A and B are shown apart, each in its own frame.
Chain A
């Protein structure tokens, strides 16, 4: 009888321990998706840049949400996809574009639905006559995760350095 009681206590203790251990794992911290989100946003930014250099307007537009805004220096806010598309098309009215960025920092919300990116850009434009000019400035992008898991730009805002 004593042995059985002892054995029972052990069983209870083991069960309790297993349950506590199991419980402590239950609220496991959500897997850190920040790195994956940052990588996805970086990749989307690179792909947008490549699409712009290729003057692929449809591809460029695929990186914006349904109701995006675009802020460029020297012009009022550009609101909506239609207006944004026109500005991109005007931008493509040159011989060649070389778009580079540096110092990009991405900050993703804990919930992984919203993120922003900031940094510097350098745009080298070769005009129709072959003349090359470079403009540098700063950018702030607001990214939103879509229902399909992709990240798209809600606000594309820029300020020139000069």
Chain B
């Protein structure tokens, strides 16, 4: 009569060992992929600049996630695909247009779902007389990793370095800032 309870206890102890063993594996530490994620985002940004050489809006907007917003200078925020396509089509339209950019910094969250980049751009277009003019500026981008593992841009903002007086032709990235050095800040 005594043997059965002890056998049961032994079984229970074995079960306990199995389950506890299984449990202890569950809260495994998240691997730290920040460097790899940052490199992937930086590569996506470089690929994007290369794709922009086609001057095709569809190639450009392929780098945006479905829920992206674009915040160009001197016009309203573009918050859906149609507005974004129109904004980018207008951006690419001027004669003699070309743009390229280079990442200064890329950083990803520990969880690998969110990242940001910022950098500088150089943009050329023709002025009213047909002379090439160059604009320089800076940009900031927020990226989200998609279900397929690719990074897509969800927020894209840029502004010219040039004071308004020096800004050439309209309708491009540099139509910047009548209020040039005035700055914002958020509050309340």
Contact = CB atoms under 8 A, between A and B. Distances in A.
A126 interface: no
> What is the size category of the interface that chain A forms with chain B?
35 or more
B176 A8 contact: no
A120 B178 contact: no
Contacts of B157: 118, 138, 140, 157, 159
Secondary structure of the A contact surface, majority rule = mixed
B71 A118 contact: yes
Contacts of B123: none
Interface residues of B, number: 65
A22 B155 CA distance: 42
B176 to A, nearest CB: 5
Given A23-B22, A74-B163, A109 B114 contact: yes
Contacts of B130: none
B116 A1 contact: no
Interface stretch (B42-50, B73-81, B86-94): B73-81
Contacts of A20: 19
Interface string A122-162: 01010000000101011111100000000000110111111
B138 A76 contact: yes
B186 A114 contact: no
Interface string B146-188: 0000000011011111111000000000001111111111111
A48 interface: yes
Contacts of B115: 114
Contacts of A108: 114
Contact of A111 (B110, B178, B180): B110
B128 interface: no
Interface string B36-73: 00000000000000000000000000000000010111
Contacts of A109: 109-111, 113-114
A118 B156 CA distance: 10
B1 A99 contact: no
Given A1-B4, A4-B5, A121 B186 contact: yes
B187 A73 contact: no
Interface of A: 1, 4-5, 7-9, 11-12, 15-16, 19-20, 22-23, 26-27, 45-46, 48-50, 52-53, 69-77, 87, 90-91, 99-101, 104, 107-121, 123, 125, 133, 135, 137-142, 154-155, 157-162
Given A15-B12, A114-B115, 5 more contacts: A11-B8, A12-B11, A19-B19, A137-B184, A139-B186
14 contacts: A7-B5, A8-B5, A50-B187, A73-B160, A74-B163, A75-B163, A77-B138, A91-B182, A111-B111, A116-B114, A138-B77, A158-B184, A159-B158, A159-B159
